[in-house]
């Protein structure tokens, strides 16, 4: 351990005096404001156990929009009736985009099974596959609250199984919270057990894709009285279990409005109209990435496409194929690595010594073409 010795400017006030220690610490902290972040002084401060860490003991601070979104932040927005923005994403690049855009919550959804892996439902994706997506998103998103879906088959057996899976999503996936679907008594018990284990839970009612075998497919819910009441009651049960928020998927706007009004926690709508506390869409859907007719089955009717990125991607790929085919790519601008003329000659000599005459000719021809492309007026190996 490194020990630091201070010169006491006033021996009549020994440094072991509590008040003097506090004054000295304040003076040191004041001095820190004038120093560079890589100064040795900061190394000293980190070694001083009597200097409180701002992140734990610094007291309440104003919310910085560049800091990580927390449940407290979401509660504040909900209390002020400020809409909460949520986007479902599955990888590092999309997470970076969400970060840059200032999205509040990034949901790593089991819909990756359909959108990324090409399955017809969300059921096939495994926990290990979900964890790969979670880790990728966690590396890219520094600001949003990160919520990971519990995939089908990983939490239904018992509350103990649910807690074990949720723990893995946080510890191995880098998530801040988890989401689970449904509102049966076993799901309510699972949500309660996970919350009691110290893990934040987001509920999900209405159309719950993991239950399509019971629902008879991807069918909207709440379209009759019994179903509408069930949506409200299930959401309230999830709230009482300790959930910090509830997703309402594919329910009529009046049902969503009633549920939102009945709850003390935020509702996040997807295909549920404008009367929720926030909205969620899938990254690929809102960007219009899935333009091929084959993907029509996984692009829901309620999704607004805020861009047509799929068309841009298709056009770029066609141009790439064309330029590679006709030889215009890569040109000089995209062939940045050079070898000097004298080195080319020596290289050709070495190839000839090795008996690689054909390779030497290919290299000479490439050097000649590169030189002419870079200097249209001339230039050759002979002139070097």
| Rounded (10°) angle between helices 341-353 and 357-374 | 170
Least confident of 276-280, 302-306, 372-376: 372-376
Distance CA 142, CA 161 (A): 29
Tell me: pLDDT of 169 over 90: yes
pLDDT at position 283 is 96
Non-local CB neighbours of 58 within 8 Å, separated by 6+ positions: 52
What digits encode the pLDDT tens for the residues 342-374?
Answer: 999 999 999 999 999 999 999 999 999 888 887
| Entry field: residues in the chain | 384
Distance CA 123, CA 171 (A): 23
Tell me: pLDDT of 155 over 60: yes
pLDDT at position 64 is 55
Tell me: pLDDT of 137 over 60: yes
Nearest to 122 by CA among 135, 105, 109: 109
Tell me: pLDDT of 18 over 70: no
Tell me: pLDDT of 316 over 50: yes
Q: Which of 156, 172, 181, 249 is catalytic?
A: 249
pLDDT at position 34 is 55
| Angle made by CA atoms 273, 101, 248, in degrees to the nearest 5 | 25
Tell me: pLDDT of 159 over 50: yes
What digits encode the pLDDT tens for the residues 176-206?
Answer: 999 999 889 999 999 999 999 999 999 999 9
Task: Look up residue 190 and give its DSSP letter.
Answer: H
The whole-number average pLDDT for the span 245-267 is: 97
Least confident of 218-222, 270-274, 275-279, 306-310: 218-222
The whole-number average pLDDT for the span 255-278 is: 97
Question: What pTM was estimated for this model as a whole?
Answer: 0.78
Q: Is the dihedral of CA 104, 110, 112, 114 positive or negative?
A: negative
Pairing of strands 105-108, 245-249: unpaired
Nearest to 105 by CA among 121, 116, 125, 89: 89
Bridge partners (DSSP) listed for residue 279 = 85, 269
Confidence of residue 295 (pLDDT cuts 50, 70, 90): low
Write the Ramachandran bin of 85: left for phi over 0, alpha for psi from -120 to 50, otherwise beta: beta
Q: Is there a catalytic annotation at residue 365?
A: no
pLDDT at position 376 is 61
Confidence of residue 275 (pLDDT cuts 50, 70, 90): very high
What residue has token string 């110290």?
A: 198
Helix, strand or coil for residue 173? coil
Non-local CB neighbours of 176 within 8 Å, separated by 6+ positions: 70, 145, 146, 147, 170, 200
Nearest to 200 by CA among 244, 235, 158: 244
Helices (H), the chain: 18-32, 40-46, 54-57, 71-79, 92-101, 112-115, 127-140, 159-171, 185-196, 212-215, 225-240, 253-262, 283-286, 309-326, 341-353, 357-374
What digits encode the pLDDT tens for the residues 40-96?
Answer: 544 444 444 444 445 444 444 444 556 899 999 999 999 999 999 999 999 999 999
Long-range contacts of 227-234 (CB under 8 A, 24+ apart): 228/252, 228/254, 228/255, 228/258, 230/183, 231/205, 231/206, 231/255, 231/259, 232/258, 232/259, 232/262, 233/183, 234/182, 234/183, 234/205
- The number of CA neighbours under 13 Å toward the Cβ of 245 is 32
Confidence of residue 215 (pLDDT cuts 50, 70, 90): low
Burial 112-141 (b: 16+ CB within 10 A, else e): bbbbeeeeebbbbbebebbbbbbbbbbebb
Torsion angles phi and psi, residue 105, rounded to 5:
-135, 135
- Taking the chain, what is the end-to-end CA distance rounded to the nearest angstrom? 61
Least confident of 1-5, 107-111, 292-296, 373-377: 1-5
What digits encode the pLDDT tens for the residues 306-315?
Answer: 999 999 999 9
Confidence of residue 136 (pLDDT cuts 50, 70, 90): very high
Tell me: pLDDT of 29 over 90: no
């Amino acid at each position: 351990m490194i020990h630091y010795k201070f010169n006491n400017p006033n021996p009549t006030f020994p440094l072991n005096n509590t008040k003097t220690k506090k004054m000295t610490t304040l003076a040191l902290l004041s001095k820190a404001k004038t120093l560079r972040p890589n100064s040795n002084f900061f190394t000293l401060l980190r070694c001083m156990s009597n200097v409180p860490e701002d992140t734990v003991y610094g007291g309440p601070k104003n919310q910085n929009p560049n800091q990580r979104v927390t449940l407290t932040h979401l509660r504040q927005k909900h209390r002020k009736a400020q809409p909460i923005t949520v986007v479902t994403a599955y990888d590092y690049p999309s997470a970076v985009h969400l970060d840059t855009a200032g999205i509040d919550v990034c949901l790593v959804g089991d819909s990756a099974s359909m959108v990324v892996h090409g399955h017809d439902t969300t059921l096939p994706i495994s926990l290990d596959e979900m964890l790969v997506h979670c880790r990728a998103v966690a590396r890219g998103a520094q600001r949003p609250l990160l919520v990971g879906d519990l995939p089908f088959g990983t939490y239904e057996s018992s509350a103990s199984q649910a807690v074990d899976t949720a723990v893995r999503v946080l510890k191995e996936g880098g998530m801040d919270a988890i989401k689970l679907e449904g509102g049966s008594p076993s799901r309510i018990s699972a949500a309660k057990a996970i919350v009691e284990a110290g893990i934040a839970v987001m509920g999900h009612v209405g159309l719950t894709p993991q239950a399509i075998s019971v629902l008879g497919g991807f069918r909207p819910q709440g379209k009759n009285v019994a179903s509408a009441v069930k949506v409200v009651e299930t959401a309230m049960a999830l709230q009482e279990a300790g959930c910090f928020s509830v997703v309402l998927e594919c329910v009529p706007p009046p049902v969503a409005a009633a549920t939102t009004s009945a709850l003390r926690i935020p509702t996040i709508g997807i295909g549920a109209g404008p009367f929720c506390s926030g909205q969620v869409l899938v990254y690929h859907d809102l960007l219009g990435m899935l333009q091929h007719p084959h993907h029509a089955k996984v692009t829901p009717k309620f999704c607004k496409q805020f861009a047509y990125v799929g068309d841009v991607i298709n056009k770029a790929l066609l141009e790439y194929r064309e330029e590679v085919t006709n030889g215009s790519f890569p040109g000089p601008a995209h062939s940045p690595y050079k070898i000097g003329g004298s080195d080319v000659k020596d290289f050709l000599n070495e190839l000839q010594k090795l008996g690689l005459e054909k390779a030497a000719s290919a290299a000479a021809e490439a050097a000649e073409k590169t030189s002419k492309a870079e200097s249209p007026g001339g230039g050759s190996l002979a002139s070097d």
